[in-house]
Amino acid sequence: MTRSPVANQTLAILAALFSLAVLTVVPSHAQTQDFEIMVSGPWQFVVAADSMGHDRLFLVAPYDVTHIANFWSGTNASMQYWMDKAGDPDGELVIFPNGTDPTSNYQKNVYALDFSGYTHQKIPAPHRKHELVYQTTSRISPSTIQKVLFPTDTSITRYAISLPDPDYVRTYSGKFGPGTAEAEIGNAIGEGSVAPAQYATWTVLHYGLTPATATSSSSVSVTGGQNAGPILFGDADDYNRYGISIALVEAPWCDDNSGNYYKGYGVIGGCRFPALPNLTDDRECDSLSGLSFSLSAKLWGLNEYALFPSEKDALGNQNSGSYDYECGPYNAKNTDAAIAQQQRAATHNRAAAEKIEAVARTISTLENLPRFSLQPNALVPGRSEKKQDEDSNLLLKDFTKIFKELNFLFPSGVPASVAAAYYCVCEAAHLAVDAKNSQCTKFGPYTCTGTPRSDLKIILEALDTADKGSSDCHSPQISIDGAIQPQP
């Protein structure tokens, strides 16, 4: 594929571009628009000939149950948007990997995206931010590229999408979220061997499109795979951008106790979108990103390894520079270990979510106890001593459960504020009278200054900070053999 240097492109064309106010409306005839294809998630870019012998830009990613590939309308390609839409954003088409269809016929599922009814008129790249797609350090043989793009069986399972050559590319920058993530990527292993850097996780492909006629449809055509069809140009709540999204997003676990991952809206054999998606990543190693990189390296036979910093919260915000060198390394040779580690993380997170829900339910039953309105060690008026003992035995079970679950949710140590709140609620429930059987002394003693209900609130709020995983993949997008080059 021939790529004209940006410096040789004329800036005069750029002045002719107009902003589109309402993107769902068909542009006026002969008006050139900057059409954007938003590519988010851990895709690889490679240039190769299609079945007609024409060079095209291919998006490729190894198939794995932890991710789902989608097209949808508009330019908000963020996972948060996909989650907010319950896995069914406007105009969504679920992308299938190669494999057998419901009739047991083998499908290569090489999707081809084209601009039907539009003339492609190249536009120049503005001089602003560079693209930050990771560049592989070794060349991939043409035979390997052909095997990946056009496999004849399921020994290789991957997603593949063929696109026209873009006019220019940029790493995403905008209101929908970050376009980059931090990682250590290199051929050496060990602390200090490679400097951390920012790499693209969201790339924008730009095309200059002019409607061929006044009635050209406001959609792109997608052919060549299962579930193919047109995708409307949508605005996705951003009236300054014009295009579609291609996203590879994290798949949540189903909420039907099957242990399966959500496979996509409307897909046969899949579950409904979970009301409260279970997170499948861990914060210390970012195992989901590690698994994604390992699978990509194995697909292409890359020599590189990657490590990712720990994460601050369930949203996957990274602790820049904070690396645990006992994690990974994530590379082509370590895929089995990466799969096992990610599965352990997913299992832990599912258990954590269930325990948090159980503790919250238990606490809700405690909030209105009559004894909580009394002074410590007082008996509830009108209750026999035997009944008081029965109540205490039931509460001991509740507090035993809370104690156990708090230790699971905070493996590095229950925060002092939470331990104090637990101790004081336990005291207020009069379970400290018999020190031998008391759950209260598991934490403490502490000086109690708040009310039982305020202490219960402290415990509930702490549950939101418990490590139950994260929901973001930071594995970089990868340029195979310079398919996407840094541009000025």
At 233, the pLDDT band (50, 70, 90 cuts) reads confident
**Most confidently modeled range among 53-57, 123-127, 238-242:** 53-57
Q: How many residues does the chain have?
A: 488
479 has a pLDDT exceeding 80: yes
Burial class (CB in 10 A: 0-12, 13-18, 19+), 197: middle
195 has a pLDDT exceeding 80: yes
Tokens of 64: 């794995």
Is residue 230 reached through a cis peptide bond, with omega within 30 degrees of 0 on the bond before it?
Answer: no
- Average pLDDT value for residue range 106-132: 85
For position 45, what pLDDT does the model report? 98
What percentage of the chain exceeds 90 in pLDDT?
30
219 has a pLDDT exceeding 90: no
Q: Which residue has the tokens 């209750």?
A: 383
Say whether pTM exceeds 0.95.
no
Average pLDDT, the chain: 79
For position 26, what pLDDT does the model report? 40
At 7, the pLDDT band (50, 70, 90 cuts) reads very low
Least confident of 230-244, 287-301, 375-389, 404-418: 375-389
Express each pLDDT in 431-463 by its tens digit.
544 545 566 767 777 888 888 778 888 888 887
Cβ atoms of residues 40 and 172 within 8 Å: yes
**Most confidently modeled range among 173-177, 278-282, 298-302:** 298-302
DSSP of 192-248:
TSS--EEEESEEEEEEEEEESSTT--SEEEEESSTT---EE-B-TT-TT--EEEEEE
Tokens of 318: 């990274």
For position 19, what pLDDT does the model report? 29
* CA distance linking residue 412 with residue 4, whole number of Å: 55
Tokens of 479: 């340029």
- Taking the chain, what is the end-to-end CA distance rounded to the nearest angstrom? 20
At 71, the pLDDT band (50, 70, 90 cuts) reads very high
For position 22, what pLDDT does the model report? 28
Burial class (CB in 10 A: 0-12, 13-18, 19+), 417: middle
Cβ atoms of residues 38 and 151 within 8 Å: no
For position 294, what pLDDT does the model report? 95
Cβ atoms of residues 452 and 425 within 8 Å: yes
Express each pLDDT in 15-31 by its tens digit.
333 222 223 334 444 67
